Structures are given as C-alpha cells and as structure tokens.
Amino acid sequence: MTPFDPTTILTTRRGLLVGGLAFATTLFTVTGAYAAELAKTPGVTEGPFYPDKLPLDTDNDLIVIKDSITPASGEITHQFGRVLDESGSPVKDATVEIWQVDAGGAYIHSRTGNKAKQDKHFQGFGTFTTGSTGEYRFRTVKPVAYPGRAPHIHIKVRKGSKEVLCSQILIAGNAQNANDGVFRSAGGLIERELLLAEFKPKIGELDAKFDIVIGKTPDERPRDKR
C-alpha cells in the first residue's frame, strides 16, 4: 500500500543543552567556543517484545494492513519528527522503526500479554527511511498502558548496518510515567523530558512530534528490562 504522508509539523518539546542546561522548544544559534549541541535522545531498553516474526506489511501506516478495508481500533495518531545529529543537521537514509501495543494492550509477539484481545487489524510494527530533511512519519494508534508499564512507543534507528539508537516515546503529562521503571532508568529530569511527546488533538485525531537526536556511538542499548 502507499505509505502515509502527513505534512503537518508542530513545535517540538525537545530541549537544547547549552553549558549543561536545558532550554526547551527553540533552537538558537550560538557561535564560537560555546556553540550549542542538541541533547542526545536517551537510549533505553529494547524490551522483550520486539517482533519475533515481522508482519507481512512493514510500511509506515500501522492502521491498515496491506489492502484491508478494516482499520485498527484506537485513537489515530500521526507520530512524526526528524532524525538529527548532535549539531542539528538532518540525518539522511536513517531507517526508523516503531513497535507498540494495540488498543487492547497486545504486541505482535508470540509471548505478548493480552493475546486474547489482540487486534488482528493493527500492524504493530512499521519502518520509514529518512530523506534529505531527516523527516520520518507514521500513522498509528495512541499507545495504552499494560501491567507494569505506562503507555509508550518503542523506537529504533539504524544507519546502514548499525543500530544507532533504541529508545521509547512516552506521553507527556501521563500520571503513570512517574512509576514507570524504564522512564526512570533514562536518567535525570533532563533525560526523562527527552523521552516525552505531547499527543495533541487535531480534527478528531492526534499529532505527536518527537525529534530524534542520535550520537556517534552505535549499538549502545541495554536489553535487560521491559
């Protein structure tokens, strides 16, 4: 099927680290020895539910599988942003993957919980390769909580044969974040803030912008948690 291609771009929550302090939303120009770098997106665990068998359809529209006329259940969410390096330059030809639970709290994995509630119309996993602007985009559903975890979307970035980031996106303002072990493991207040995206209503659907800043060291993710 033709990949989904929304065009709306919203202001990001991503902060900028200048001299160790976070300044939210606006990227400004700093010259000389104090030139600013974007804060790198924290890496967190891949978890146990990366698909053990990829779906037949792996495009960036997770709502509809191939030519099916039955969409997935849940709040339709346009999840998008840019892949940048630490200097703020767009990263071309980066492959972005996302995976998450469906509206019933089930992954597309043989060991998922809530298997009886699994939505067979939800793709559960998708990929997108960035162009010259570094932009990526997915159409999915708003993630829901399941036992032990706040709502989240898993995200992974590959460049060529290397995995350069594995992280998760959580919902800004969700009360369950405070008790989420993976969220807390990301680091301090600044690092945790960089895992959050605002899910903003727009004409009956949601927009969630999340810019990804990758570092220079590949494959530096933990694997021992959910």
pLDDT the model gives residue 19? 36
Label residue 26 by pLDDT band (50, 70, 90): very low
Instruction: Name, in order, each residue with C-beta under 8 angstroms of 175's C-beta and a sequence gap of 6 or more.
Output: none
pLDDT score recorded for residue 218: 40
Contact 37, 115 (CB under 8 A): no
Judge whether residue 28 has pLDDT over 50: no
Whole-number pLDDT of residue 14: 52
Cβ neighbours, 10 Å, residue 216: 8
| Domain coverage including residue 61 | 40-214
Model pTM greater than 0.85? no
For the record, the structure tokens of 68 come out as 């099916």
Would you say residue 16 lies in a domain?
Answer: no
Which of 87-91, 94-98, 150-154, 212-216 shows the lowest per-residue confidence on average (mean pLDDT)? 212-216
Q: Which two tokens stand for residue 217?
A: 């060291």
Residue 198 within any structural domain of the chain: yes
Contact call for residues 176 and 147 (beta carbons, < 8 A): no
Instruction: Please give the tally of structural domains in the chain.
Output: 1
User: Does a structural domain hold residue 32?
Assistant: no
Comparing 6-15, 32-41, 78-87, the range with the smallest average pLDDT is 6-15
Q: Give the strands of the sheet with 196-197, arranged side by side.
A: 125-129, 94-99, 152-159, 162-171, 196-197
What CATH number has the domain bearing residue 164? 2.60.130.10
Average pLDDT for 153-161: 96
On whether residue 24 sits in a domain, the answer given is: no
Mean pLDDT, rounded, for 134-158? 98
Name the percent of the chain lying above pLDDT 70. 79
Confidence of residue 3 (pLDDT cuts 50, 70, 90): low
CA–CA gap between residue 160 and residue 148 (Å, rounded): 34
* Of 14 and 66, more confident: 66
The confidence score (pLDDT) of residue 215 equals 78
Q: What is the pLDDT of residue 77?
A: 98
Q: What angle do CA 209, 30, 87 make, to 5 degrees?
A: 50
71 in any annotated domain: yes
Average pLDDT over residues 105-124: 95
Predicted confidence band of residue 87 (pLDDT cuts 50, 70, 90): very high
Inside any domain, residue 35: no
Residue 2 within any structural domain of the chain: no
Instruction: Tell me the C-alpha distance between 166 and 99, whole Å.
Output: 11
Residue 183 within a domain: yes
Beta bridge pairs of residue 82: 135
User: What are 60's two structure tokens?
Assistant: 């960036």
